[in-house]
Amino acid sequence: MREEITRAFDLVLSEGARYADIRIERAHVTAIEVQDGVFREMSYGTDHGMGVRVLYGNSWGFSSSNELSRSKLTETFEDALKIARALSHSPVLGSETITITLAEVPVENEHFRLNPELNPADVSIEEKKKMIKDAYRAAKEHSPLIKSVSISYLDGYEERVYANTEGTYIVEETPAVFMRVHAVAKRGSLLQEGRESTGAVGGFEVLKGEGDPEVMSLKAADKALRLLDAELPPAGVFTVIMDPKLTGVFMHEALGHAAEADHVLYGESILRDRLGEEIAYEGLTVADDPTIENSHGYYRYDDEGVRGRRTEVVREGVLVSFLHTRETAGRLDADAVPTSNARAASYSEVPLVRMSNTVIEPGDSDFEEMRADIARGIYAKGMRGGQVDTVRGEFQFSAEEAFLIEKGELTKRLKNVSLSGRTLEVLKNIDAVGKMKGRGSIGFCGKDGQEVPVSEYAPHIRVKKILVGGGTPTPTPTPAPTPSPSRR
């Protein structure tokens, strides 16, 4: 295949293309879903295909195919070139002429294989089915108040080939596992829910310890049951302590998306023109890091063949970097470098600027110290949904569960706690960061119709002023999102 790719590169370059690259992916995926004791899905499938980009003038052409024959390879490159040519000859809208410059990166040549302790492919479908049934039974039989349980499980093995006209040629082989449990408890007309998830680019060993399916199921059921006795929160401006899960998702959503350089380029980010500015509490350091092994957002190379590396976005309160593809780095700043954040949900999608693992570094406060001088505040845990406006810099999140803090002590359990405000104000209102960093949420992040696996690692943080509200939303069973087989 490498020789065929080289010939295709030579063809488009001889026709005037400035650059071209190709991603070839072959994936094997097992999916199991059970809801209320019924197996809704139990399948094994394969997917394969290629995605080709060609840069002609200042226009990109993209074409993909799920056929991997030699003739289709040439045809896909030709189609991408035709698209790029057509776009380059189209009238320019507006007065701004965009010059596409790809930031330079090292040429890479590697065949990387991640060898797990236990390859999911070596575990039979019957064993996986029994594991899911046992997890379902553990949650359902935990209490007669547990009325609904749904479990989604995905595993797979993927081989990816990336090559470009600069000489990079990379082969990666990686397994991955993901599982989510959703439990609903009911008393009278009152419904509450609990969720737990685990996942990583790794083997079946992910489902051990806290990731054990039965342990996860019991945690989800316990959470739903606890919330049946919780009270609605007070409304107003309070000091709030966020647990590691909520801290991680808050930083991912409110700060991370605003730091994606495509948003910055198109004027869709509150962080535009703020590099070098102190935007947060001086004790806050936030990074994006795809190199964390056994994480859900792990990758060795991004989808432009750039070696994965840690990128600090905020260092001691100062905005020090955006997250980049090669194009955004070249267009935004002559000194900017790609940050290995070009990601696509599958071979049929164009790479975008995306986060991987959001990491908030620990500070010097412990949990008891953080709440000791709070006369009346909120301890908020987990995330159950919300929305962010990166243009206006506003957010609204709902915590999974919470506690009232009175005179430094956790008292009443609370439910339906919402937090809202302006991102930059809240970042400045942080006044303590916890000593211990824990693994936060695990899931899939959506952008422009693409979903990619992400996770967070964070300590507790304390925000001295944030708007708190509450409501009475009714939970509805929602299974785990179904990503492309190329990205579990």
Structure tokens at 408: 């430094």
pLDDT band at 369, cuts 50/70/90?
very high
pLDDT in tens, 88-110: 876 555 556 678 999 999 999 99
Structure tokens at 462: 């304390």
pLDDT on residue 473? 42
**Average per-residue pLDDT for the chain:** 92
Q: Is the pLDDT of residue 472 over 60?
A: no
The percentage of the chain sitting over the pLDDT mark of 90, rounded to a whole number, equals: 88
CB 429 within 8 A of CB 306: no
Q: Which residues partner with 43 through β-bridges? A: 31
pLDDT in tens, 216-264: 999 999 999 999 999 999 999 999 999 999 999 999 999 999 999 999 9
Q: For the ranges 24-33, 288-297, 326-335, which has the lowest average pLDDT?
A: 326-335
CB atoms within 10 A of CB 400: 23
pLDDT on residue 481? 34
Q: Is the pLDDT of residue 372 over 60?
A: yes
CB atoms within 10 A of CB 139: 28
- Against a cut of 0.95, is the pTM above it? no
Q: Is the pLDDT of residue 482 over 50?
A: no
pLDDT on residue 475? 40
pLDDT, average across residues 423-429: 96
pLDDT on residue 477? 36
pLDDT band at 468, cuts 50/70/90?
very high
Walk me through the domains of the chain, giving residue ranges and CATH numbers. Answer: 2-228 (3.30.2290.10), 236-470 (no CATH)
- The conformational region for residue 36 under phi > 0 = left, psi -120 to 50 = alpha, else beta, is left
